[in-house]
Amino acid sequence: ETGVTQSPTHLIKTRGQQVTLRCSSQSGHNTVSWYQQALGQGPQFIFQYYREEENGRGNFPPRFSGLQFPNYSSELNVNALELDDSALYLCASSPVTGNTGELFFGEGSRLTVL
Amino acid sequence: AQSVSQHNHHVILSEAASLELGCNYSYGGTVNLFWYVQYPGQHLQLLLKYFSGDPLVKGIKGFEAEFIKSKFSFNLRKPSVQWSDTAEYFCAVILNTGFQKLVFGTGTRLLVSP
């Protein structure tokens, strides 16, 4: 177990709806990243939060947004859902924000958009 | 754009066979390299990493990887696989972006038959 927990584990939405995914980071970790893993693909970086601010973003549109709270937990929000948003969303925490690449992943939230 | 290529999408081996999974990356600058593993029903976890120094790095569970700069490769090896090595393996690089942006390959699904 990594100590990173995500909720919900599975959910189904329809196109155009909005979704919020939640993540509790491992104790002592102040950096949270979110990744999208489509079927048959590797995880793709969405964004990273450090000290409650977004400090890095991948090639995802603005309808993907996030928050980090003072206790370092985080949310990923996706508005105006599209069919291609169907994927496993992974949260990862790290004790540092630099280039160490040593991330501790949760088990993911599987989103299906119909 | 930076990318990571994993040559084999599916590999099937018998126990005690040797394993080599290929990984190539396209990025001209300094990179840190990783192999992550996802066992069935579990979270993604770090198997081994290369930052600098000895290009042959050893990870958990008898795995090792060799960084060959001239070939932009970071192949994963294990002399004798076990049934418990059945998993999906992801090669990843982290770029010098100042934040934890891992770029993953598409993964190799390994099945070890007893």
Does the structure show a pLDDT above 80 at B87?
yes
| Chain A touched by B107 (CB under 8 Å) | yes
Average pLDDT value for residue range A78-92: 97
Mean pLDDT of chain A: 93
Share of residues in chain B with pLDDT > 90 (%): 76
Test mutation, B24, B35, B99, B106, chain A, max A CBs within 10 A: B99
- Give the one of B32, B99, B102 whose C-beta lies nearest to A55's C-beta: B99
- Give the one of B49, B99, B105 whose C-beta lies nearest to A56's C-beta: B99
pLDDT band (50, 70, 90) for residue B4: very high
Does the distance separating the beta carbons of B96 and A56 come in below 8 Å?
no
pLDDT score, position B37: 96
> Which tens digit of pLDDT belongs to each residue from A21-58?
999 998 888 899 999 999 989 999 999 999 899 989 99
pLDDT band (50, 70, 90) for residue A113: very high
Average pLDDT value for residue range A64-84: 96
pLDDT score, position B30: 79
By residue count, chain A amounts to 114
- The C-alpha R_g of chain A, in whole angstroms, comes to 13
pLDDT band (50, 70, 90) for residue A2: low
Mean pLDDT of chain B: 92
Test mutation, A45, A47, A53, A94, chain B, max B CBs within 10 A: A45
Torsion angles phi and psi, residue A13, rounded to 5 = -130, 165
Residue type, B73: S
Average pLDDT value for residue range B60-89: 95
Does the structure show a pLDDT above 80 at A9?
yes
* Rounded-to-integer distance, Cα A48 and Cα B14, Å: 40
Does the structure show a pLDDT above 80 at B6?
yes
Contact predicate B108/B101, CB 8 Å? no
